[in-house]
Amino acid sequence: MKEESYKKAHTLDTEDQLASFRSNFYFPQRDGKDCIYLCGNSLGLQPNTTQTFVDEELKKWREHGVEGHFTGNKPWVSYHKNTKNPLSKIVGAETHEVVAMNNLTTNLHLALSSFYQPKGKRTKILIERGAFPSDFYAVYSRIEVSGLDPKKNLIQLAPKDGSDYLSVEEIIRKIEALGDELALVMFPGIQYYTGQLFDIKRITEAAHKVGAFAGFDLAHAVGNVPMSLHTDSVDFAVWCTYKYLNSGPGGVGGLFIHENHGKNKEMPRLSGWWGHDSDSRFKMNNQINPIPNVDGWQLSNVNILSHAAHMASLKLFDEAGMENLRHKSVKLTGFMEELIVNSDVLAKQIRILTPANPDERGAQLSLFLVNHGKSIFDYLINNGVILDWREPNVIRVAPVPLYNSFADVVNFVSILEKSILNER
């Protein structure tokens, strides 16, 4: 690694207005030193306030028992409301359009039960080929339980030009071609394997133009890139919170339902008592009266400890701001790309699958090892770099602006170069 790269990293870190946020997180240790953690796209780091947030609720449980549902400044019965404001800013929604609940795939099944109601010719769901397995399983099974054949009604779109990723033009052409046979377009915000950021606004517009709904899995987009789900008129979106939102392994999921649908009490749904009118919920009269917003899709009372961990991270997002995080993220990921493509050692050994256009990606580069295999990944892990591996021969690297530095990037690339040279 060239000396000027280290100097540039030092300058960028000195100028970074978000640099102080790094001290809010715990880093895994290797030989008494912080690891270079570039795996926020799989599991975010723990904020150092998480234990305080969780301990507060454990203390309330210990001291008040069941009365904790109605006591204190954050009663458990309405605890989910504490996350609405920060979540609405992160995904670009109204507060009554977002709720933290369940996990991603449960929320996806709930959304599909409402937004996939096949009738007449309109029976098809469009996804991308190579979708994340849980998304594929969910839409496949939803078609099955609707009494239809997934092999005929689940349309999987792949790039036709040999590209590693789909252009928005290809997606729109397919939507237009399916026309009145299309019931739902279901895409990720960011593709987990390539790191491609999809154009949510244009995909939604195209779906609506042919009379279909548009839903998105935001697992790799939430807390990564700014979004505007409300003004883009997205019908629904789901996400997890353990990646960029740093809310703990298996942490609570999230759901967005546009207000146009939320206020429609006749919208078909799988119901639970927590989605019932809160003023009469405890009268136990079994009169279904869904809350006229996203809360009407809730099933059960809140997992308090998971929500508490979620709130610890959301507080940091509120302080940092998504626009500021995005500004740093573009520079951070761009710096990594620059170092790789200009490296005499790496240029011919690494093919970057992620789009080069910063507007078409988030905080992730997917690195395809042209002439090497998993031994490179193992070398990185053994030398204090934490990231993840995807078959075949892909290392996903995510420099997260909330806690990664430019020094992390240059140190990672230096170790990557050494791993290639070591194999030679």
**Using one digit for the tens of pLDDT, what is the confidence trace for 212-238?**
999 999 999 999 999 999 999 999 999
Give the mean model confidence (pLDDT) for residues 179-195.
Answer: 97
Nearest in space to 20 (alpha carbons), one of 388, 359, 328, 417: 328
pLDDT at 102 over 90: yes
Distance between CA 385 and CA 419 in Å, rounded?
12
On average, the pLDDT of the chain sits at: 96
Distance between CA 233 and CA 212 in Å, rounded?
12
pLDDT at 284: 87
Distance between CA 368 and CA 341 in Å, rounded?
13
**Confidence label for 162 from pLDDT (cuts 50, 70 and 90):** confident
Q: Is the dihedral of CA 365, 366, 369, 373 positive or negative?
A: positive
Structure tokens at 224: 């990564």
Taken in order of first residue, the domains within the chain and their CATH numbers are 3-34+322-423 (3.90.1150.10), 53-318 (3.40.640.10)
Distance between CA 414 and CA 273 in Å, rounded?
55
Distance between CA 59 and CA 50 in Å, rounded?
14
Phi/psi of residue 204, nearest 5 degrees: -65, -45
Model confidence pLDDT, tens digit, residues 124-144: 999 999 999 999 999 999 999
Give the mean model confidence (pLDDT) for residues 355-361.
Answer: 96
Distance between CA 108 and CA 110 in Å, rounded?
5
Edge-to-edge order in the sheet of strand 388-390: 350-352, 365-369, 394-397, 388-390
Region for 345 from its dihedrals, namely left if φ exceeds 0, alpha if ψ lies in -120 to 50, beta otherwise? alpha
pLDDT at 199 over 90: yes
Task: Indicate the range of 45-54, 270-279, 395-404 predicted with least confidence.
Answer: 270-279
Model confidence pLDDT, tens digit, residues 249-283: 999 999 999 999 999 999 999 999 999 998 888 88
Q: What percent of the chain has pLDDT over 70?
A: 100
Whole-angstrom CA distances from 318 to 301, 314, 368 are 25, 6, 35
**Confidence label for 373 from pLDDT (cuts 50, 70 and 90):** confident
